[in-house]
Structure 1
Amino acid sequence: MEFRELSVPGAWEITTAQFGDARGAFLEWFKAPAFEAATGHAFDLQQANCSVSAAGVLRGVHFADVPPGQAKYITCAKGAVLDVVVDVRTGSPTFGQWDSVLLDDVDRRAVYISEGLGHAFMSLEDDSTVLYLCSTGYAPGREHGIDPLDPDLGIAWPTIGRSGASLTPILSEKDSEAPTLAQAAADALLPTWSAVDEYVRSLTEGGAR
C-alpha cells in the first residue's frame, strides 16, 4: 500500500496491490498500520456511507466545522468518479487550491481527506458507486457546502464521461445554492488553518480521535 500526499496538504492518494485470477480480484483498500504510518494517527471509524450516482452527477464541495470536522477515506467500488479535494482552510498556504484523483473500478485507488478540507466528486458513468469511511457521523448543523462551479475555484470538471458521451453537471438543490468560496469566507463559515492544525496535532499526539 502506497500513500502519496496531494498538492493540498492533508490529503493522500492511496494505491494498493490487487490480486486477480479467473474468479475476479481481491484487495485491501484500508489497512490501519499503513494509514497510521502515513498520517501519524489512527482512523476512528464512526460512519460508513455509500452513494450511487448517474453520469454527470456532481456532489460537493462539502466540509464540516473543526473540531471535530469529518475526515473521509474514499474509494469507488463500481464505475468511475473524479474525486476532488479543496483547501477551504482560511490562512492556509494553499487556501483555495484543489487537486484531484481518478477513482475507478480498474486501478481501485482510494483517497484520504483529513479534517478541514472540502470534498467533491463528479460521476463519469451511470451507477458509479462511492464508498466513504467517515471519522464522525452526519451532523447537519455543522456541515457546509461551497458551489462546486465557483469560477474562482476553477475546478476542471470533466466534460466527457467514461463512455465518450458528453457530461452535463447534475447538482442537488442544496449544492447548486451553496455559496462561493469568497462568500463562505465572508460569512465566517470556513475552518481556519490554525484551528485545523491544532486539532490534527492533537490527534497525532493522542493517537486517535
Structure 2
Amino acid sequence: MNIEPLSIAGAYEITARVHADHRGEFSRFYCESTFAEHGLNTHWVQHNRSLTKAKGAVRGMHLQYPPHAEIKLVQCVAGAVFDVLVDLRAKSSTFGQWQSVRLDASRHNAVYIPHGVAHGFQALTDDARLIYLHSSAYTPQVEGGVRHDDPDLDIAWPLPVGEVSHKDRALPSLSSIQPVEL
C-alpha cells in the first residue's frame, strides 16, 4: 500500500498494490499493521456501501459531530467518482478548504478522511459503487455537513450537477455551520 498525505491534515490517498494474472486482480483495501505503522485508525465499527446510478449525481457533504465524530475510509469498487473532502475543524489551518481525489475502481485507490472533515462525491460514471469503513456508528442526532453548491466553498464539480437528495440540498452553508470542536 502506498499512503500519501493530502493537503488537508490527517487525510490520505491510499493506493493498493494490484496483483494480476489471467484470472483477474487482487488488491488489499485495508491492512491493520500498515495503518498502525502510519498512525491511522485501525478500529472500524461499521462497513457501508453505496450505489449511485446516474453520472453527475452528487452525494454530500456529510460528517458527524462529537461525541460520534467518525473517520472514514472510502473506496470506489465500480466506476469512478470525484471524491471531495471539506475541512470543518474549528482549529484547523485548512478550515473551509476542500480537496478532491478521483477514486476509480481501476486504480484501486481509497481516501482516508479524518474526524471533522466532511465528505461527498460526484459520480463520474453511471452505477458508481463505493464501500466505506467508519470508526463510529451512524448517529443521526449528530450528523451535519455543508452544501455541495456553497459559493464560499466553490467546489469545482467536473460535470454539471445532476441528482441531489432533498436532505443534501437542505444542508447549511459554510458561513452558518458550527465548526467541529475535537
Q: TM-score range by the shorter chain?
A: over 0.9
Q: Counterparts in 2 of 1:17-166, with a 5 A limit?
A: 17-38=17-38, 40-53=39-52, 54-159=54-159
CA distance in 2, matches of 1:173, 1:190: 23
Contact 1:82 1:101 in 2 (8 A): yes
Q: Which residue of 1 aligns with 2:180?
A: 191
Instruction: Report the alpha carbon displacement of residue 145 of structure 1 after superposing the two structures with TM.
Output: 2.0
Distance 1:44 1:100, change over 3 A: same
Instruction: Report the alpha carbon displacement of residue 92 of structure 1 after superposing the two structures with TM.
Output: 1.4
CA distance in 2, matches of 1:11, 1:41: 10
Q: Which residue of 2 aligns with 1:10?
A: 10
CA distance in 1, matches of 2:26, 2:36: 22
How many positions carry a matched residue from both structures? 181
The one-letter code of the counterpart of 1:143 is E
Contact 1:69 1:136 in 2 (8 A): yes
Contact 1:65 1:190 in 2 (8 A): no
Among candidates 162, 165, 170, match of residue 163 of structure 2: 170
CA distance in 1, matches of 2:171, 2:120: 13
Q: TM-score, normalised by structure 1?
A: 0.83
Please list the CA deviations of residues 15-35 of structure 1 after superposition, one character each: whole Å capped at 9, or x if unmatched.
111011121100011111111
CA RMSD, Structure 1 to Structure 2 (Å)? 1.2
CA distance in 2, matches of 1:158, 1:10: 25
More helix by share: 1
More strand by share: 2
Contact 1:57 1:122 in 2 (8 A): yes
Distance 1:135 1:23, change over 3 A: same
Name structure 1 gaps, 5 residues minimum: 160-166, 196-209
Instruction: Report the alpha carbon displacement of residue 62 of structure 1 after superposing the two structures with TM.
Output: 0.5
Instruction: Report the alpha carbon displacement of residue 41 of structure 1 after superposing the two structures with TM.
Output: 4.8
The one-letter code of the counterpart of 1:154 is D
Pick the structure with greater CA Rg.
Answer: 1
Name structure 2 gaps, 5 residues minimum: none
CA distance in 1, matches of 2:153, 2:41: 31
